[in-house]
Amino acid sequence: MGPTRRPQGRWSAIHKFLVHNEGDDVGVATEDIDVGDAVVGIFMDTGGEVGITARGAVPLSHKIAVRALKRGDEVTEYGTRVGIATGDIEVGDYVHTHNIRSARW
């Protein structure tokens, strides 16, 4: 199941992650997220919100997928390609060196 988009200001939930740009594939955890947590993030460029369920534990300041990606897909953060998926990534997955590689090399 994909992310649920919520209009700005309609939820009073505390945001557990930030997504820099609406088109980004990942958000950054603002606190530890546990497996199975239903969490809400905010798009910093538009103020919109996105709700997802964590499929893996995501430590503070690490990435969580807000879009499903296939192996070989580019991973976008800050509106820029930051990595390449080394395997399929589902919405809510913990995104780190085990499932992406740097786009720099």
Number of domains forming the structure of the chain: 1
Domain that holds residue 75: 4-102
Q: What is the pLDDT of residue 38?
A: 94
Q: What is the pLDDT of residue 10?
A: 44
Could you report the per-residue pLDDT of 14-37, keeping only the tens digit for each? 899 999 999 999 999 999 999 999
Could you report the per-residue pLDDT of 33-50, keeping only the tens digit for each? 999 999 999 999 999 999
How deeply is 51 buried, as exposed, middle or buried, from its count of CB atoms within 10 A (0-12, 13-18, 19+)? middle
How deeply is 75 buried, as exposed, middle or buried, from its count of CB atoms within 10 A (0-12, 13-18, 19+)? buried
CATH number for position 88: 2.30.130.110
What pTM, to 2 d.p., does this model score? 0.85
